[in-house]
Amino acid sequence: MLTRIDHIGIACFDLDATVEFYRATYGFEVFHTEVNEEQGVREAMLRINGTDDGGASWIQLLEPTREDSTVAKWLARNGEGVHHIAFGTDDVDGAAETIGGRGVRVLYDEPRRGSMGSRITFLHPKDCHGVLTELVTSATSAPEGESGGH
């Protein structure tokens, strides 16, 4: 059902400065950037490595674009740092249904668009030992004609 750690989402106040830190300190380069208007974030995806299932593992840096976004509210409460962990799956709908059937609240009725054309949903952190958890089907593993994001 879950095939890998897809990414670790890190909330930051200044995306450009945080990207520069990860580049200068670890040698990670930006693979993709985008603004997700629905989620109110500007993001950068830094590819860490490939995985056995053909996917990849990423660091996702998130800067809020508006004060009412979930990431902005989280930053106001917690400051910069790890915001969520995302697990990759080839079937986000099925994984959400299975995990929801085990008593974990799924935050979206239907998966939404995420980074790089992926499909995503989130699991309630109170049901996951305090960890906001995302389920991701990458665009490359999504059924034909479907798209979404991180």
DSSP conformation letters of 56-109 = EEEEEEEEESSTTSHHHHHHHHH-SEEEEEEEE-S-HHHHHHHHHTTTPPBS-S
CA dist 76 and 56 (Å) reads 30
Nearest residue to 137 (alpha-carbon basis) of 23, 38, 17, 6: 6
Active site residue 84: yes
pLDDT, position 71: 97
Residue 148 has pLDDT above 80, yes or no: no
- The pLDDT assigned to 28 comes to 95
Radius of gyration of the chain (CA): 15
Is 92 part of any domain?
yes
Active site includes 20?
A: no
Q: How far is CA 106 from CA 81, 82, 120, 134, in A?
A: 23, 20, 11, 9
Residue 81 exposure: Cα atoms within 13 Å on the Cβ side: 7
Q: Which of 60, 63, 83, 150 is catalytic?
A: 60
Is position 147 within any domain? no
- Count of domains forming the chain: 1
- Per the annotation, the verdict on 134 as an active-site residue is yes
**Model confidence over 75-129: pLDDT tens digits?**
999 999 999 999 999 999 999 999 999 999 999 999 999 999 999 999 999 999 9
What local confidence, expressed as pLDDT, does residue 98 receive?
Answer: 97
39 as an active site residue: the answer is no
Residue 114 lies in a domain: yes
**Is residue 141 very low, low, confident or very high in pLDDT (cuts 50, 70, 90)?**
low
Domain of residue 53: give its range. 2-137
Does 144 score more than 60 pLDDT? no
Considering 43, 63, 83, 150, which one is annotated as catalytic? 43
Catalytic residue of the set 39, 63, 83, 134: 134
Cα-Cα-Cα-Cα dihedral sign, residues 56, 61, 66, 67:
positive
Is 150 within a domain?
no
Among 20, 2, 4, 24, CA closest to 12: 20
Please report, for the domain that includes residue 27, its CATH number: 3.10.180.10
In this structure, is residue 146 part of a structural domain?
Answer: no
Catalytic residue among 39, 63, 83, 84: 84
pTM for the model: 0.87
Confidence of residue 48 (pLDDT cuts 50, 70, 90): very high
148 versus 59: which is more confidently predicted?
59
